[in-house]
């Protein structure tokens, strides 16, 4: 006898003891379902989900120079923030309270 896990209506896992043939048929049917779900997800994924996953799309209207300038500005801004946080560490508690 084999044990398989199934989910009830409340999505709780339940252990069911079944024969070897039933367990094998259940596993195969689950694999078919997973394959079908994966194929459907592959063919119907939305662009929003792709963007949320961290992928970026090329903007045909973007100017490369503007992108590079923006990256340099972001790097400079990050450097200034690091210097500022380092300077705040050297302030007295009263000065920190005044700044914040």
- Domain residue limits, the chain: 2-49, 58-99
Res. 47: pLDDT tops 90: no
Sign of CA dihedral 47, 48, 50, 51: positive
Give Cβ neighbours of residue 3 (< 8 Å, ≥ 6 apart).
15, 16, 17, 18
| Model confidence at 29: pLDDT above 80 | yes
Task: Give me the helices (H) in 1-100, please.
Answer: 20-44, 47-52, 64-89, 93-99
| pLDDT, position 96 | 86
Alpha-carbon distances, residue 91 vs 23, 78, 79, 80, 95 (angstroms): 68, 20, 19, 17, 6
Give this prediction's pTM. 0.42
3-state secondary structure at position 45:
coil
Give the span between the Cα atoms of 98 and 54, in whole angstroms: 38
Across 10-36, average pLDDT:
92
How much is the average pLDDT of 53-78?
A: 87
Structure confidence at residue 99 as a pLDDT band (50, 70, 90): confident
Q: What is the rounded CA–CA span in Å between residue 80 and residue 88?
A: 12
**pLDDT of 58 higher than 80:** no
């Amino acid at each position: 006898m084999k044990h398989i896990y199934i989910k009830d209506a409340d999505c709780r896992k339940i252990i069911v003891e079944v024969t070897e043939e039933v367990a094998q048929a259940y596993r195969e049917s689950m694999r078919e379902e997973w394959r079908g779900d994966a194929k459907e997800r592959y063919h119907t994924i939305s662009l929003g989900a792709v963007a949320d996953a961290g992928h970026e799309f090329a903007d045909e209207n973007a100017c490369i120079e503007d992108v590079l300038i923006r990256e340099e500005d972001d790097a400079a801004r990050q450097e200034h923030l690091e210097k500022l946080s380092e300077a705040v560490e050297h302030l007295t508690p009263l000065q920190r309270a005044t700044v914040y």
